[in-house]
Amino acid sequence: MSTYSVSDASAAAGQAAADVSPGWLEKLRSGGYGVGLAAAVPWLAFGASCLYWEDLGDWSRTHGLAIAAFGIAALALLGTIGADFLGSAGVALRRRAPWLVALGSFLTVWEVATAKFGWLPLPFFPPPQAILEVYTDDMPKLFDSVIASVKLQLGGYIIGAAIGFLTGVSIGWSQKVGYWVHPILRFIGPLPATAWLPFAFFTFPSSWSASTFLIALATGFPVTVLTWSGVASVPNAYYDVARTLGAKPSFLVLKVAIPAALPHVFVGLFMGLGASFAVLVVAEMIGVKAGLGWYLQWAQGWAAYANMYAALIVMSLLCSGAITLLFKTRDRLLVWQKGVVKW
Amino acid sequence: MVAAALHEAIAYPAVGAALDIEHVNHAFDIDGVVLPVLEDVSLAIEPGEFVALLGPSGCGKSTLLRLVAGLEKPRSGVLREDDIRITGPHPSRVVVFQDPTLFPWRSVWDNVALGLEAQGILKSQRQRVDAAIDLVGLSAFRKAYPHQLSGGMAQRVALARALVNDPKVLILDEPLGKLDSLTRITMQAEIVSLWQRKGFTTLLVTHDAEEALFLANRVIVLSDRPARVKADIRVDRPYPRHRGDPYLADLRRQILGLLGLDATW
């Protein structure tokens, strides 16, 4: 009873019968289930189109896809009616119901336009069941590619971020370091990391170490510059306060300069993450014989476009996940900040 | 354990220090032009005195405070705390600035703990932080972050952050300058009562003659830049003082006259 909206309450007050009818029936009358029920419709349509309409081509996962679609439709239905009993999961489901409608509709249109009418040319635009087939049949190779990409990305990113952070703090703190490092940074930093590709691939012993270097480079530049600007923009008053309270130089760096610079550092880490994704994919396409970039290249070479889309979806989930993780970390560390960008 | 208990029992003799400022000159280089800010300033301040430095805006009174705090070194002349030459900052001389300058990433408690942490004695002295927060009446806000505080509360935290070190000299650089007038009146009374309880020497910079007379037992009037000591006025009135006191009103007229503002009175 506690989750009733005002309109539900007024609808209930208007009808004496509402008092005796069960909650779900009452809600059905007042239209409270509208979006949730609407969410089930496109998914049912999607499933039905898979099941009862002959495919133009020969795809083996059409029936499996239909079952999955019906499953989602059932979940939407159950979730809508049972939302009051599902607690926070029910609330979350209800909030996302409009997206379920949109996604179901999109998949139905995609299914019909590719597998049923062939409006979009094959093999460039495969139907959803072809992509599902990649996930079920080519999982081991895709999984290995994900592992390879994550390892490469993580190694390069952590090295680049650590070096960038230390360099940034040093330049921001010490004029002498700044004198020597700043010109180098200005000269080399703006160069896209991918421009180093030829150099990296013949200088480093393996394509893996070369790629790590390039990813670290792409990450390091924005992290360095923003950490530096963060440290340089710490108000002198903070140092004055700390010094009069008995702080030594190490305290000024670790407990004043670095925490004060952290919001800037996170902007650098975010920019570095974006730059490093680009380098990762290029490096994998050109030199490294593993990873999602390599998988994309390989899929294209065999005209296996379904594999390409499947890899793209995985890649976007990974990149988005990495950024979510970064923002979550930032929100934890910077709870003291107001009005930070939400992701 | 016994040593720690004994340590606590002694309770930090918070007796003010004497300050000697002898023939101090100071100047700034601004784009190669030397700008003198202090000219032969000499002052002898007794332990536990409450001295207000009053002067026109930009006359160099804050610079004098920075020299006393040890944040800058004078071009010439000597500053001493209890006959020991001041060569750098020391937690026995703590400054409360015009802006609270709390560290926004630290909670109220962590801000107040800053001095003890910097000196590496926080672990054994945590109760001093609690005591200082209680002293300024912010016990309920220990976990709050600076952006959640009002201007007056933030300045109270800054005061607690200074007092937790049991300073011998409390240096106040227009600490109430940016507060609204009601908060200001309350905090003036609080500062007096803290000073009376703790007995530290207080050096207050202000450009408000009324504030100086309400708080201090000695008012030093400085000239326009470069600052020289223009007058050294004893305010021989008991506390708590009354703003309407004719004696203080008379002194105020005198001081404003020294600052060249007598035409308005």
Residue with tokens 């009175």: B265
A51: pLDDT strictly greater than 90? no
Q: What is the pLDDT of residues A54-77, one digit of tens each?
A: 777 778 888 888 888 889 888 888
What one-letter code names the amino acid at A91?
A: V
User: Which tokens in the block code for residue A255?
Assistant: 């407990």
Q: Please check whether residues A63 and A150 belong to one and the same domain.
A: no
| Nearest-CA distance A207 → chain B (Å) | 42
Percent of residues, chain A, with pLDDT higher than 70: 88
What is the rounded CA–CA span in Å between residue A86 and residue A66? 26
* Number of folded domains that form chain B: 1
Co-location of A144 and A112 in the same domain = no
Q: Of B11, B14, B37, whose CA–CA distance to B26 is shortest?
A: B37
Asked if A99 and A143 sit in the same domain, the reply is no
**CB–CB contact B165 A246 (8 Å):** yes
Tell if the CB–CB gap between B118 and A251 is shorter than 8 Å. yes
> How many angstroms separate the CA atoms of B133 and B123, rounded?
17
Cis preceding linkage at B240, omega within 30: yes
Query: Containing H/E element for B65?
Result: helix B61-69
Same domain, yes or no, for A241 and A327?
Answer: yes
Q: What is the CATH number of the domain that holds B258?
A: 3.40.50.300
Q: Is residue A313 part of a domain?
A: yes
| Best CA proximity match to B233, nearest among B93, B24, B109, B52 | B52
**Cβ-Cβ contacts under 8 Å, B118 against chain A:** 242, 245-248, 251, 255
In a domain, A342, yes or no: no
Residues A98 and A147 reside in one and the same domain: no
In this structure, are A49 and A150 located in the same domain? no
Cβ density class B51-67: b for 16+ within 10 Å, e for less: bbbbbbeebbbbbbbbb
State the CATH number of the domain containing residue A195. Answer: 1.10.3720.10
**Calpha distance B69→B79 (Å, rounded):** 10
Query: Is residue A9 in some structural domain?
Result: no
Give A-chain residues touching B91 at CB under 8 angstroms.
244-246
Domain count for chain A: 2
Q: Which of A241, A246, A336 sits opposite B90 (nearest CB)?
A: A246
- Interchain pair B91, A242: CB under 8 A: no
In a domain, residue A343? The reply is: no
> Both A265 and A240 in a single domain?
yes
For residue A222, give every residue at least 6 positions away whose Cβ sits within 8 Å of its Cβ, in sequence order, or none: A164, A268, A271, A272, A275
Buried/exposed A8-42: b ≥16 CB within 10 Å, e otherwise: beebbeeeeebeeeebeebbbbbebbebbbbbbbb
**Residue B88 forms part of a structural domain:** yes
pLDDT score at A15: 46
Q: Which long-range contacts (CB under 8 A, 24 or more apart) does B29-36 make?
A: B35/B225, B36/B225, B36/B226
Confidence of residue A126 (pLDDT cuts 50, 70, 90): confident
Please say whether the beta carbons of B138 and B156 come within 8 A.
yes
Regarding whether A268 and A170 lie in a shared domain, the answer is yes
Chain A residues with beta carbon closer than 8 angstroms to that of B70: 244
In this structure, of A7-21, A138-152, B19-33, the range with the lowest mean pLDDT score is: A7-21
Which residue range is the domain that position A92 belongs to? 33-123
> With bands split at pLDDT 50, 70 and 90, how would you rate the model's confidence at A6?
very low
Looking at the structure, do residues A117 and A146 belong to the same domain, yes or no? no
Residue B125 maps to a domain:
no
Tell whether A241 and A153 lie within a shared domain: yes
**What φ, ψ does residue A247 adopt, rounded to 5°?**
-75, 140
pLDDT at A32: 57
Check B91 against A245: CB less than 8 A apart.
yes
In a domain, A100, yes or no: yes
Q: Dump pLDDT digits (tens) for B202-259.
A: 999 988 888 888 889 899 988 888 888 888 888 888 888 888 888 888 888 888 888 8
Cβ contact, residue pair B101, A336, below 8 Å: no
In a domain, A133, yes or no: no
Chain A residues with beta carbon closer than 8 angstroms to that of B112: none
